[in-house]
Amino acid sequence: MTGAPPAEVAAIAVDVGGTTVKGALVDAAGRPLHELAAPTSPADGTPVADVLTAVLAGLAGRAAASGLRVVGAGVVTPGTVDETTGRVGFAANLGWRDFDLRTHLEQRVAVPVAVGHDVRAAGAAEALLGAGRGARDLAFVALGTGIAAALVTGGAVVSGATRAAGEIGHMPVHPGGRPCTCGQVGCLEAYASGAAVARRYAELGGRPGSTAGDVAAALGTDPAADRAWQEAVQALALASSTLTMALDPALLVFGGGLGRAGERLLAPLRWELAGLLAWRAAPRLAAAELGQDAGRVGAAMLAYRAAGHGAVVERWTTGDVLGRRATSPGPTTVPPAARRVREES
């Protein structure tokens, strides 16, 4: 089935983040109708999988109350994710190893579930509806607490032989350099992630407790901020040159927390990258356009395509997927009782 679904259907889109599980009920035009959010690691110790189940169940309940039929759910998560089987090979921050996430969820919530990688899903959304519109060869780089990329070649998102394509945060940029949380040294993530920039700023005498956003805001007025930022840009330029030579992308799109710095990041990065590419032009650099909604939009795309309604996704517009939430004024925290939904089934 590839045609347009009836107007009364919806899909559930869930983005599992390091601090928050964010879900939305999305109509066939890509518009978010209802939203739910819950802390990824609640104070009461509820496992992440149960929090995720509660968000799915809560949104399924919202759909039923609104007279909507849910055709499926798209759940995107960090880690090593096999989109074909729905298994998460390893997600350190979530405590998952060789976890059959799709089966776990489908046994608890009566909705077909498609599982995807959060950054690959966000990259697919940016390629279709964001800064990557019209480009068939690009990389979407998410610069957050960690770093990962979605690699798009010939219009297709690459997942790799072990479903770990795009883990550029652990690409060595300075052999023998700073230790990384992964156990290696000199990784890009140890220099250019949001956490790394903030940590380096503090080491250089910057204000304790500052974020990467604070460092960006202090550029040009604080020498410690300037140096920490420049070190991050240089590391990112090295990684970008490797991506450029390996993939020959037309475009590099930068999202995540550091991506929101816009030209404060892109202007020096263009200069550094051009200096590393002696015999060819650098690809175009752009800031992501979908922002924190990219994961949710990508999850919704995944849900509709898995349900056989891929044609409707191709008709979505950026305005619709980022439009004002007409039914719900903002995210609603999942009540603790919702965590028990279908736990006994």
Answer whether 22's CB lies under 8 Å from 308's CB: no
Cβ-Cβ contacts under 8 Å for 250 (sequence gap 6 or more):
135, 136, 137, 138, 283, 284
Answer whether 276's CB lies under 8 Å from 309's CB: no
Q: What is the pLDDT along the chain (345 residues), one digit of tens a residue?
A: 455 565 689 999 999 988 899 999 999 999 999 999 999 989 888 999 999 999 999 999 999 999 999 999 999 999 899 999 999 998 888 889 999 999 999 999 999 999 999 999 999 999 999 999 989 999 999 999 889 999 999 999 999 999 889 999 999 999 999 999 889 999 999 999 999 999 999 999 999 899 999 999 999 999 999 999 999 999 999 999 999 999 999 999 999 989 999 999 999 999 999 999 999 999 999 999 999 999 999 999 999 999 999 999 999 999 999 975 444 434 555 444 333 333 322
The pLDDT value given to residue 345: 28
The pLDDT value given to residue 310: 93
The pLDDT value given to residue 327: 40
Q: Which domains does the chain have, with CATH numbers?
A: 9-122+292-340 (3.30.420.40), 133-288 (3.30.420.40)
The pLDDT value given to residue 329: 38
pLDDT digits (tens, 9 = 90+) for 104-116: 999 999 999 999 9
Residues in the chain: 345
The pLDDT value given to residue 93: 81
Query: Which pTM does this prediction carry?
Result: 0.88
